[in-house]
Amino acid sequence: MLRFWLIKLLRTVVTLWLVVTFAFIVLRTSGDPVVALLGADARPDEVEYFRRLWGLDQPLIVQYLNYIVQMATGQFGMSLRDHRAVIDIIAERLPATVELGLTAFAIAAIIGIPAGIIAALRRGGVLDRLIMTIAVFGFALPNFFLGILMILLFSLTLRILPSSGTGTWQHLVMPSITLATFTAGSLARFTRSSMLEVLEKPYMRAAAAKGASFSRRVLFHAFPNAAIPIVTVIGLNLGQLVAGAIVVETVFAWPGIGRLLVVAVSQRDLAVVQGLVLVIAATMVMANLLVDLLYGLLDPRIREAST
Amino acid sequence: MIRQRPNIIVVLASIILAVAVGVALIGNVFTPHAVTDQALLSRLKPPSWMEGGEAAFPLGTDRIGRDMVARLVAGLQMSLSVALLGTLIGAVFGTTIGFIAAHFRGWVEEILMMVVDFQASLPFILIALTLLAFFGNSMVLFIILMGMFGWETYARLARGVVLSARAQPYARAIVALGANPGRLYLRHVLPNVASALIVQVTLTFPQIILLETSLSFLGLGIQPPNTSLGQILGDGRDYLSTAWWISVWPGLAIFLITLSMSILGDALRDRLDPMLKTRTT
């Protein structure tokens, strides 16, 4: 048990180290880091000051170790555009993204998981086909196009929802549904196949023979067993959600970190880009660690198999 | 999802893809306008069947009076060729890395697989945005980025297959006969992985289309004067209230292509990979 957790923890640390190393390599190979982070129009004395401050006169290995310490402590530098600490800007934008992400995730789970269960129970039937067809559509529909179609329909034609911005719950409706679509589709597909596997297990027949009612068999015997692999898919979907948020926030002018990232990339505000990438990557890696641990907790077989 | 004979949906998906490729290849015959032709008197014209539309522009015009048909054809050409190139680069590169990892084992394998795990742990759009921000956008970098997408899946796949193939008698017999590793992998192992790789290609291709169109939509991908479906869609965003067609046509094209490719990929997987079929049905 302890060994299982230690291995997972070690892997997480290695991945975080790789992320920081990746950022360091990109920063150093793409040009002068001082010019990159301060901008080409920085004064020579400023450049000189930061060169010494960041220890760029030191050997590369010392610079690398310093860089790791700086990034680990959240010293991402200053934004070129508004001359504030990157960490403050990110902290300011983060709540909006968390709000959008959690809402989207809740919608995806509430729709996707029951849809998958129903499809599995009605395997091969009309309902199954219908649900799976919708799921495939949800997969293939690019989120930016879905967002635009919703704006055309609900904002410009029916005029019942605001097309951009934030503030009221109406502002949250379209971005969160757009963001949820892909995740709902993948949850539905995965829940279905996971349930189908479980429904054929001998213990399901045993439960039926015992006289357990249909709903009891589905909810208390089948679903908890099917839920175990679903937890992993939820972990994998976090990446999709982050990637989706980058696009969806831009479509709906939602003031979160996704939009911040797109603006920073297009303005080449590199300190902000670097800080955001590290924060997002670290969050995702930690979330995956949590999922892994939860997975091991839910299913003792996993712990045994991976040690 | 058992499909013994090609069903109507798979046939439909194939037709849509064939039409898309056909339009990209010979699309210029559909319209007398060049993609750069501007008709400033015919700006933001709706499709010809709508009120105010002009017969010369069947799908309407954009903000500087360029013909939507011509732009869609150009965008389709760009999106398809970038995705095709990206898919090929990723497949070849990833498979090679997988073979190398499995051949050398030891620390080479460890390092390569560490990079594979690293890339798999982050959404690719994040890596792409970082590289675009630091190195600046150029067509070469953009195509390399598309090629970097998904290579880790091929690497894992190829490594796993080589490892299991090497334990098989046929591989040992070939080595005993004096074949060098290159011959073993290319002539004997590769044909055995081919079906799994082809399935993977059909899964990666629509994802690369979505990646390219997303980045271009955000204004961070294909840059004017070049155009792609995503870029036209992004262009039309500012004109949603007056000219919906600028955004809707390219969006519809992207949707139909990715949908058809996914359907074909699923069908292909069911056919080529009986193991997966029993698991997912």
pLDDT on residue B48: 77
Instruction: State the smallest CA–CA distance between residue B7 and chain A in angstroms.
Output: 14
Helix (H, G, I), strand (E, B) or coil at A85: strand
Instruction: Please tell me which residue, B161 or A298, carries the higher pLDDT value.
Output: B161
Both A249 and A106 in one domain: the answer is: yes
A143 contacts on B by Cβ (under 8 Å): 214
Instruction: Please tell me which residue, B211 or B46, carries the higher pLDDT value.
Output: B211
Name which of B118, B131, B210 is nearest A142 (Cβ-Cβ): B210
Most confident range, picked from A43-47, A158-162, B74-78? B74-78
User: Residue A27 has which token pair?
Assistant: 């920063």
CA distances, A154 to each of A147, A163, A278 (Å): 10, 8, 36
Is the pLDDT at B279 greater than 50, yes or no?
no
pLDDT on residue B87: 94
Q: What share of chain B is helix, strand, coil (3-state, %, to 5)?
A: 75, 0, 25
Over residues A99-122, the mean pLDDT reads: 91
Interface test with A, best of B126, B203, B235 (most A CBs within 10 A): B126
Both A65 and A199 in one domain: the answer is: no
A248, A175 Cβ separation under 8 angstroms: yes
B3 domain-assigned: no
CA distances, A38 to each of A69, A118, B141 (Å): 20, 56, 24
Percentage of chain A exceeding pLDDT 90: 22
Is the pLDDT at A267 greater than 80, yes or no?
yes
- Band (A247; pLDDT cuts 50, 70, 90): very high
- Band (B171; pLDDT cuts 50, 70, 90): confident
Interface test with B, best of A139, A148, A152, A251 (most B CBs within 10 A): A148
Both A37 and A135 in one domain: the answer is: no
B280 domain-assigned: no
A88 domain-assigned: no
Q: Taking phi first (over 0 means left), then psi (-120 to 50 degrees means alpha), and beta for anything else, what does residue B273 get?
A: beta
Question: CB-based contact (8 Å) between A245 and chain B?
Answer: no
pLDDT in tens, B83-120: 999 999 999 999 999 989 988 888 888 889 888 888 88
Both A11 and A153 in one domain: the answer is: no
Say which range, A274-278, B2-6, B208-212, has the weakest mean pLDDT.
Answer: B2-6
Q: ipTM value of the model?
A: 0.85
Both A47 and A128 in one domain: the answer is: no
- Band (B209; pLDDT cuts 50, 70, 90): very high
CB contact under 8 A, B1 and A132: yes
Task: Determine the structural domain holding residue B262 and report its residue range.
Answer: 8-272
Query: Between vectors from CA A188 to CA A185 and to CA A190, what angle results, nearest 5°?
Result: 105
CB contact under 8 A, B279 and A273: no
B279 domain-assigned: no
Give, to the nearest 10 degrees, the angle between helix B8-26 and helix B68-104. Answer: 110
CB contact under 8 A, A273 and B129: yes
CB contact under 8 A, B248 and A264: no
Question: Chain B: residue nearest A13 by CA?
Answer: B118
User: Residue A67 has which token pair?
Assistant: 């860089």
The residue assigned the tokens 């499909």 is B3
User: Residue B28 has which token pair?
Assistant: 């210029």
Over residues B255-275, the mean pLDDT reads: 82
Is the pLDDT at A54 greater than 80, yes or no?
no
A151 contacts on B by Cβ (under 8 Å): 240
B112 contacts on A by Cβ (under 8 Å): none
Instruction: State the smallest CA–CA distance between residue B179 and chain A in angstroms.
Output: 36
Both A120 and A224 in one domain: the answer is: yes
- Band (B278; pLDDT cuts 50, 70, 90): very low
CATH code for the domain of A233: 1.10.3720.10
A286 domain-assigned: no
Task: Determine the structural domain holding residue A141 and report its residue range.
Answer: 94-255
Over residues B206-214, the mean pLDDT reads: 92
Query: Between vectors from CA A286 to CA A285 and to CA A292, what angle results, nearest 5°?
Result: 90
CB contact under 8 A, B213 and A144: yes
Instruction: State the smallest CA–CA distance between residue A150 and chain B in angstroms.
Output: 11
CA–CA separation, A303 vs A268, rounded Å? 45
CB contact under 8 A, A19 and B251: no
B136 contacts on A by Cβ (under 8 Å): 268
Number of structural domains in chain A? 2
Name which of B237, B262, B280 is nearest A139 (Cβ-Cβ): B262
What is the rounded average pLDDT for all residues in chain B? Answer: 84
A136 contacts on B by Cβ (under 8 Å): 259, 262-263, 266
Question: Chain B: residue nearest A35 by CA?
Answer: B134
Number of structural domains in chain B? 1
A262 domain-assigned: no
The residue assigned the tokens 């939602």 is A254
pLDDT in tens, A170-228: 888 899 999 999 889 888 988 898 888 888 888 888 888 888 888 888 888 888 878 87
Both A208 and A247 in one domain: the answer is: yes
pLDDT on residue A302: 63
A43, A235 Cβ separation under 8 angstroms: no
- Closest of A27, A72, A33 to residue A51, by C-alpha: A33
B206, B265 Cβ separation under 8 angstroms: yes
pLDDT on residue B277: 45
pLDDT on residue B268: 83
CA distances, B23 to each of B28, B69, B70 (Å): 8, 10, 11
pLDDT on residue A245: 92
Is the pLDDT at A50 greater than 60, yes or no?
yes
CA–CA separation, B126 vs B5, rounded Å? 41
CA distances, B125 to each of A239, B122, B220 (Å): 10, 8, 11
- Band (B5; pLDDT cuts 50, 70, 90): low
B185 domain-assigned: yes
Is the pLDDT at B27 greater than 60, yes or no?
yes
A187 domain-assigned: yes
Interface of A with B in 36-65 (CB under 8 A): 36
CA–CA separation, A151 vs B85, rounded Å? 33
What is the rounded average pLDDT for all residues in chain A? Answer: 84
Interface test with A, best of B17, B119, B125 (most A CBs within 10 A): B125
Both A102 and A250 in one domain: the answer is: yes
B67 forms beta bridges with: B61
A81 residue type, one letter: R
Both A157 and A14 in one domain: the answer is: no
A14 contacts on B by Cβ (under 8 Å): 114
CA–CA separation, A53 vs A55, rounded Å? 5
B241 contacts on A by Cβ (under 8 Å): 156
Instruction: State the smallest CA–CA distance between residue A139 and chain B in angstroms.
Output: 8
CATH code for the domain of B59: 1.10.3720.10
pLDDT on residue B49: 81
- Band (A249; pLDDT cuts 50, 70, 90): very high
Both A25 and A99 in one domain: the answer is: no
A76, A271 Cβ separation under 8 angstroms: yes
Question: Is it true that the peptide bond before A255 is cis, omega within 30 degrees of 0?
Answer: no
A52 domain-assigned: yes
A188, A110 Cβ separation under 8 angstroms: no
CA–CA separation, A284 vs A274, rounded Å? 15
CA–CA separation, B79 vs B24, rounded Å? 10
The residue assigned the tokens 């399935």 is B199
